[in-house]
Amino acid sequence: MARHLITSAIPYINGIKHLGNLVGSQLPADLYARYLRARGHEVLFLCATDEHGTPAELAAAKAGKPVDDYCAEMWGVQAKIAEGFRLSFDHFGRSSSDQNKKLTQHFAKVLDDEGLIREVSETQMYSHADGRYLPDRYIEGTCPNCGFEDARGDQCDNCTKQLDPVDLINPRSTISGSTDLEMRDTKHLYLRQSEMKDKLDAWIDSKTDWPVLTTSIAKKWLHDGDGLQDRGITRDLDWGVPVQKGDEPWPGMEGKVFYVWFDAPIEYIACSQEWVDAGKGDDWARWWRTDKGADDVRYTQFMGKDNVPFHTLSFPTTILGSNEPWKLVDYIKSFNYLNYDGGQFSTSRGRGVFMDQALEILPADYWRWWLLSNVPESSDSEFTWDSFQQGVNKDLADVLGNFASRVTKFCRSKFSEAVPEGGTPGAREEQLMADLTAKIAEYQTHMEAIEIRKAAASLRGAWVLGNEYLQEVAPWSTIKEDPAQAAMQIRLALNMIRLYAVISSPFIPDACADLLSCMKADDAEWPTDIAAALKAMPEGHAFTVPDVTFRKITDAEREDWQERFAGTRD
């Protein structure tokens, strides 16, 4: 029994996420959380929406709503979809919470006290019509280099030369199109990450068991070019955490907010406070403060590769730099990208399958199984409808679902809807126990190492053992000469259904809950002794035949969906 803190990278509030976003952090994090809970560990699994920044403001404006209303509404949408996928967050928070506001301001003050924040003066374009500063890509104009008329503030798409927005000729706002712009001097705060470079470097070096993807990205940012750079942590926006030194104002920073990447990871901590304030827990500090009981917590973060720099460098700078006893991450599991049918999933272009659409066409378990057993761990992987159909039909319908079906229906027709009596196990049954024990041990090893593809393969291997056994002992033949022996074989097989439901539930929770309910099993404890677990349902124990646990995806459906999702959304 250990204590595990698990966080998934927090999805941006703007719009519904696609399957690539889901498989890159939330879903594997959920798998791990469910597994550890099933093993009897104490788990706190947190996620939230990342709500600040310009994209949220623009999306709200487009929807004709105040930004806070828009975010509240979208939080509700995302929370509902997360529930649909059975993501078992202990709390799904919001980075715009008061708790996060206070904590972000607290960290800013402490970091400033530690000398890790410096002020920088910059010149930025201010738009009178929009009433705001225009960061790089919100401004366009004529390229001073090649004369291209639609050059963006940060780069000219025509000559590729990198630009500074103030150099553009005839600049205009991409928001309103206004040309009523003015260069203004403005001050910003920078986090002195470069000061922490050696400390971070040593810390990353000590993490020899982390995925290469995680450490190689961190190392690149630490050593590439001039090394780790300081980063601006403030913006001239309305929507965000107001820049303050704790409770005190920050002279010269009036009207500015912290930049999203600074306050977003702090939400991991704030989320636990929201969890307490929502009445779901009573002590957040024992998860986050090493001086208040978090010493024995193992903290694991899940994220896509694009988030690695923030979690290996920026957020650790905040934590380590504060010199306060905050819990630092122990393990960072990062993922590559999932591609869609020969290209990328794209939120902006609406390409691919989005979370709400996925749930409209099939239950969560179908998606969970395929996505997890094909999770992009070692390299980018690809979603194709063909592969999805094949994986679901073969693994779920044929191997697992059909096993439950053949066993329960055979028992009902030859015996009754109760675990049959008689017979004595022999050598073949001992072999089965040994095989199952080994396969499940292998599965557990992979789950503990968060080797998800391998864990899925082992789990499937355990399912196959049941079919192999049945095929070999052939109770449909045995029953003709020795009904008692057939009863023993089926009794074992019925118990295997229960066992499979228990160990598979981290992957496919709904189907497993159904199977357990059909088996009328009140014991869903994780098996430590397989032989004992296969006696959990004694002779005479009643059950019901499950409905089709997993249905097959037909060729017509596959073609239909392939067609339907080929274009773009909206």
The Cα 21–Cα 34 span in angstroms is 19
CB of 512 to RNA, least distance (A): 13
The Cα 12–Cα 311 span in angstroms is 16
Residue 349 in the binding site for RNA (CB under 7 A): no
The DSSP code sequence of 503-530 is HHTTT-HHHHHHHHHHTT----PPPSSH
Residue 552 in the binding site for RNA (CB under 7 A): yes
Name the 3-class secondary structure at 536. coil
Residue 468 in the binding site for RNA (CB under 7 A): yes
> E strands within 103-193?
117-127, 132-133, 139-142, 151-152, 169-173, 181-191
Residues 6+ apart with CB under 8 A from 265: 310, 311, 314, 315, 318
Which range, of 87-95, 141-149, 201-209, 464-472, touches RNA by CB under 7 A? 464-472
Residues 6+ apart with CB under 8 A from 448: none
| Residue window 169-198: x/- pattern of binding to RNA, with contact defined by CB under 7 A | ------------------------------
> Which one, 355 or 452, has the nearer CB to RNA?
452
Chain residues 295-334 in contact with RNA, contact rule CB under 7 A: none
Residue 402 in the binding site for RNA (CB under 7 A): yes
Residue 382 in the binding site for RNA (CB under 7 A): yes
Residue 438 in the binding site for RNA (CB under 7 A): no
Which range, of 170-178, 238-246, 395-403, 499-507, touches RNA by CB under 7 A? 395-403
Q: Using CB under 7 A, pick the residue from 464, 484, 513, 531 that binds RNA.
A: 464
> Which one, 218 or 537, has the nearer CB to RNA?
218
Residue 204 in the binding site for RNA (CB under 7 A): no
Residue 381 in the binding site for RNA (CB under 7 A): yes
- The C-alpha R_g of the chain, in whole angstroms, comes to 28
Question: What is the enclosing helix (H) or strand (E) of 537?
Answer: none
> Which one, 109 or 188, has the nearer CB to RNA?
188
Residues written for the chain: 570
The Cα 35–Cα 505 span in angstroms is 8
> Which one, 292 or 453, has the nearer CB to RNA?
453
> Which one, 47 or 487, has the nearer CB to RNA?
487
Which range, of 277-285, 420-428, 474-482, 521-529, touches RNA by CB under 7 A? 474-482
**Token representation of residue 270:** 């704030």
DSSP class of 135: -
The Cα 186–Cα 347 span in angstroms is 33
Chain residues 136-165 in contact with RNA, contact rule CB under 7 A: 160, 162
Residue 332: closest CA among 209, 417, 221: 209
CB of 344 to RNA, least distance (A): 6
Which range, of 25-33, 86-94, 139-147, 387-395, touches RNA by CB under 7 A? 387-395
Which range, of 31-39, 88-96, 285-293, 545-553, touches RNA by CB under 7 A? 545-553
Residue 535 in the binding site for RNA (CB under 7 A): no
> Which one, 41 or 412, has the nearer CB to RNA?
412
Residue 397 in the binding site for RNA (CB under 7 A): yes
Residue with tokens 């704030």: 270
Rounded to 5 degrees, what angle do the CA atoms 132, 138, 142 make?
120
CB of 122 to RNA, least distance (A): 16
Residue 211: closest CA among 47, 375, 21: 375
Name the 3-class secondary structure at 157. coil
Which range, of 2-10, 139-147, 386-394, 532-540, touches RNA by CB under 7 A? 386-394
Sheet containing strand 231-232, strands side by side: 132-133, 117-127, 181-191, 231-232
CB of 217 to RNA, least distance (A): 6
Name the 3-class secondary structure at 249. strand
> Which one, 329 or 396, has the nearer CB to RNA?
396
Q: Using CB under 7 A, pick the residue from 27, 332, 470, 502 that binds RNA.
A: 470
Residue 348 in the binding site for RNA (CB under 7 A): no
Q: Using CB under 7 A, pick the residue from 158, 194, 357, 387 that binds RNA.
A: 387
The Cα 438–Cα 450 span in angstroms is 18
Q: Using CB under 7 A, pick the residue from 121, 208, 348, 413 that binds RNA.
A: 413
Per rule CB under 7 A, count of chain residues that contact RNA: 51
Q: C-alpha distances in angstroms, 422 versus 344, 479, 490, 496, 520?
A: 57, 12, 10, 17, 21
Rounded to 5 degrees, what angle do the CA atoms 421, 422, 426 make?
130
Q: Using CB under 7 A, pick the residue from 274, 365, 377, 429 that binds RNA.
A: 377
Q: Using CB under 7 A, pick the residue from 126, 326, 331, 476 that binds RNA.
A: 476
Which range, of 106-114, 256-264, 363-371, 409-417, touches RNA by CB under 7 A? 409-417
CB of 53 within 8 A of CB of 240? yes
CB of 411 within 8 A of CB of 475? no
* List of residues contacting RNA (CB under 7 A): 160, 162, 212-213, 216-217, 220, 224, 336-337, 344, 374, 377-382, 387, 390, 394, 397-402, 404-407, 409-410, 413, 453-454, 457, 464, 467-468, 470-472, 474, 476-477, 548-552
